[in-house]
Amino acid sequence: MNAISRFFLRAKHWQIFLLLFVFSFVAELLLMGPALSAQGSPQRELWKFWLSTVVMIVPFMFAFLAWFWSMGSFLNSIAPPRLRMNTAFFQFAVVYPGLYVFLALPLFAASNPNVIVVILPFHLFAMFCMFYNLRFVAKSLVSVETAKPASFYDYAGPFFLLWFFPIGVWVTQPRINQLYAKAEGLTVASVG
């Protein structure tokens, strides 16, 4: 397990909340304010707007996806062998949205409406990957905690908590911390 995964698995709920929500929100305000208030040609201001959006969204996406990668990989590794899910598509589904955001944001800045038609299938697939990531982590979490196969009814709560992560991180991350502490033979107080 690498240092990034250990950080996300040991981090307290408030640390994840700060990293993913508060810092991103503050960065957005700091970057967008000057871009929107500046005087200049509309095309130049549009590019400033898109550049500030890329600067804000790309680090957020990579942190968010690293959190999911860490949780999903860890939970699947500690699940009983009969309950482990295939990680090949999960790993792809975590990487794809990050690449998509990084490569697609500049295309959205183009004034050509045909770009949207071309990029729409890639966007929908990125959305599918994000929902798959939510499902993988939620199902793995419940399967590890109960040591039984989980149906959607069983993991719907964690699924929606992860989907609405600014709220769900307060419930989900302590559960991850407890499982990580147990797997590492630590006390919960020493994790973080």
Predicted confidence at residue 38, as pLDDT, reads 56
Predicted confidence at residue 109, as pLDDT, reads 65
Contact between residue 126 and residue 100 where contact means Cβ atoms under 8 Å apart: yes
Other CB atoms within a 10 A radius of the CB of residue 127 amount to 12
Give me the residue label for tokens 């499982």.
179
Predicted confidence at residue 145, as pLDDT, reads 95
Predicted confidence at residue 121, as pLDDT, reads 92
pLDDT tens-place values along the chain, 192 residues long: 688 899 999 999 999 998 888 777 776 676 666 655 656 666 666 666 677 777 777 788 889 999 999 999 999 999 999 999 999 999 999 999 989 987 887 776 666 778 778 888 999 999 999 999 999 999 999 999 999 999 999 999 999 999 998 899 999 999 999 999 999 886 555 545
Predicted confidence at residue 94, as pLDDT, reads 96
